């Protein structure tokens, strides 16, 4: 609400009084409209969903079984080992394009599940990744694909990772151009996927509190590495929550990692305004008009931009039968057609140019085999490793 001035004209509200007019003018409509979606947008226009048919499923099963070699390390496989056929690969690539250059979210429905073992399904997910990008390592063990499954980890601990727990997760992004999540088993209760547009959240933040939006774009905050840093790396990375290019708004967000990062003994202090902005952003992401809930079914493949779409998950109660426990497989991919990132984010992502392998968490076992895989895979896709 504006406050009358002594001259009778309206003075700027406290939230906008010290915000430069140039910032307001550039920030209010920043970002591509397609990626600034609401729940109503996703429900009205479902072109972001790609259903596979029986021919697609047959091609995927045949390709995985033709290429599988018992005990062969994942990093030694190549895309050509899995002859899926041009049709299904084209449909998968179109879904990745939608995640990167369209809505920021895509869902492929109908991966083969009936009669497919968990090991075959994991290999299928890995093989799909080989056709689409360069997988990025995800943890201190330098694993390039992870089973998202509860093994009793405390998500809120300083070294906790959400994919190994059954807890409700904070909204976050992963590392790499896109994240792929394939569903083998779903929990009987809970475990729903939650997604919000970082671009829509940015616009709402600018509308409500442009002063806090400006702080989240200009003041860096420590993101904890959760104890998984490589030798010589600090226990946190520093970056802004939001960044912009002339065409895009990007969001680097992981409330749990920010919370833990701020508690690290050597981490820089942050302002009260930044803390306030973090809390307001979290509230905006969870508002009903922005938070889209989807229940991944066995055979679903979710693909999300790690720069424009934030994701989370509800808590779940698992099946007591080990063979029926909630099990998904996660890939982080750098892609040939990734977006150009803001130059200031180079330290966090390792590269900002399209077509350059970026992101990932090297962990404690990043070795010559990892380097050879990344170089070979990048070359096959016309990409570069810096």
Residue 204, domain CATH:
3.60.130.10
Taking only the tens of pLDDT, the chain with its 386 residues reads: 232 233 333 444 557 767 888 888 888 888 889 999 999 999 999 999 999 999 999 999 999 999 999 999 999 999 999 999 999 999 999 999 999 999 999 999 999 999 999 999 999 999 999 999 999 999 989 999 999 998 888 777 777 777 788 888 889 999 999 999 999 999 999 999 999 999 999 999 999 999 999 999 999 999 888 888 878 888 888 999 999 998 999 999 888 889 888 899 988 988 999 999 999 999 999 999 999 999 999 999 999 999 999 999 999 999 999 999 999 999 999 999 999 999 989 888 889 999 999 999 998 999 999 999 999 999 999 999 98
Q: Give the Cα separation of 281 and 214 in Å (integer).
A: 12
Q: Under a CB-based contact definition with an 8 Å cutoff, are residues 261 and 224 in contact? A: yes
State the distance between the two ends of the chain, measured CA to CA, in whole angstroms. Answer: 51
Query: Can you give the pLDDT at residue 157?
Result: 76
- The reply to whether 24 falls in a domain is no
Query: Can you give the pLDDT at residue 1?
Result: 29
- The reply to whether 322 falls in a domain is yes
- The reply to whether 2 falls in a domain is no
CA–CA distances in Å: residue 1 to residues 5, 268, 342: 13, 34, 34
Q: What angle do CA 273, 277, 281 make, to 5 degrees?
A: 175
Query: Can you give the pLDDT at residue 17?
Result: 64
Query: Can you give the pLDDT at residue 255?
Result: 87
- The reply to whether 95 falls in a domain is yes
Structural domain of residue 271, as residue ranges? Answer: 40-380
Q: Is 305 left (phi over 0), alpha (psi -120 to 50) or beta?
A: beta
- The reply to whether 23 falls in a domain is no
Query: Can you give the pLDDT at residue 86?
Result: 97
- The reply to whether 12 falls in a domain is no
- As for how many domains the chain has, the answer is 1
Q: Give the Cα separation of 10 and 17 in Å (integer).
A: 11
Which one-letter DSSP state was computed for residue 231? T
What is the number of H-type helices and E-type strands within the chain? Answer: 12, 18
The residue count for the chain: 386
Query: Can you give the pLDDT at residue 316?
Result: 93
- The reply to whether 30 falls in a domain is no
Query: Can you give the pLDDT at residue 156?
Result: 73
- Which residues on neighbouring strands pair with residue 146, listed in sequence order? 330
Q: Which residues lie closer than 8 Å to 230 by C-beta, 6 or more apart?
A: 362, 363, 364, 366
Q: Give the Cα separation of 256 and 172 in Å (integer).
A: 8
- The reply to whether 5 falls in a domain is no
- DSSP structure string for 73-140: -GGG--GGGS---HHHHHHHHHHHHHHHHSSSEEEEE----TT--HHHHHHHHHHHHHHH-EE---ST
Could you tell me which of 171, 165, 174 has the C-alpha nearest to residue 145? 174
- DSSP structure string for 280-317: HHHHHHTSTTT-EEE-PPTT-EEEEETTTEEEEE--EE
Could you tell me which of 202, 312, 311 has the C-alpha nearest to residue 248? 202
CA–CA distances in Å: residue 9 to residues 4, 24, 210, 271: 6, 20, 21, 32
Its pTM stands at 0.92
Query: Can you give the pLDDT at residue 13?
Result: 59
Query: Can you give the pLDDT at residue 321?
Result: 94
């Amino acid at each position: 609400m504006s406050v009358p001035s002594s001259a009778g004209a309206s003075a700027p509200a406290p939230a906008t009084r010290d915000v430069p007019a140039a910032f307001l003018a550039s920030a209010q409509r920043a970002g591509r409209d397609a990626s600034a979606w609401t729940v109503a947008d996703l429900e009205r226009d479902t072109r972001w969903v790609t259903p596979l048919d029986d021919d697609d499923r047959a091609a995927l099963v045949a390709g995985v079984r033709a290429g599988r070699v018992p005990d062969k390390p994942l990093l030694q496989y190549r895309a050509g080992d899995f002859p899926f056929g041009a049709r299904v690969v084209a449909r998968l690539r179109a879904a990745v394009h939608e995640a990167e250059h369209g809505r920021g979210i895509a869902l492929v429905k109908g991966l083969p599940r009936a009669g497919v073992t968990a090991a075959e399904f994991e290999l299928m997910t890995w093989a799909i990744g080989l056709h689409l990008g360069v997988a990025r390592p995800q943890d201190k063990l330098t694993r390039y694909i992870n089973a998202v499954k509860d093994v009793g980890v405390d998500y809120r601990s300083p070294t906790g990772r959400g994919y190994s727990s059954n807890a409700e997760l904070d909204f976050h992004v992963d590392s790499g151009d896109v994240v792929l999540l394939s569903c083998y088993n779903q929990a009987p209760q809970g475990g729903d996927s939650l997604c919000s547009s970082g671009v829509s959240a940015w616009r709402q933040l600018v509308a409500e509190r442009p002063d806090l939006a400006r702080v989240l774009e200009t003041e860096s905050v420590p993101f904890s590495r959760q104890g998984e840093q490589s030798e010589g790396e600090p226990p946190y990375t520093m970056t802004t929550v939001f960044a912009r290019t002339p065409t895009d708004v990007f969001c680097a967000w992981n409330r749990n990692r920010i919370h833990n990062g701020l508690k690290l003994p050597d981490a820089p202090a942050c302002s009260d305004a930044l803390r306030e902005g973090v809390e307001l952003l979290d509230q905006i992401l969870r508002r009903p008009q922005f938070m889209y809930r989807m229940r991944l079914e066995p055979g679903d493949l979710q693909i999300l931009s790690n720069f424009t779409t934030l994701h989370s998950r509800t808590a779940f109660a698992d099946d007591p039968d080990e063979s029926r426990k909630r099990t998904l497989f996660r890939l982080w991919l750098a892609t040939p057609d990734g977006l150009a990132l803001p130059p200031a984010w180079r330290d966090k992502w390792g590269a900002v140019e399209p077509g350059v392998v970026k992101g990932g968490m090297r962990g404690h076992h990043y070795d010559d085999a990892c380097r050879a895989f990344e170089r070979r895979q990048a070359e096959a896709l016309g990409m570069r490793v810096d």
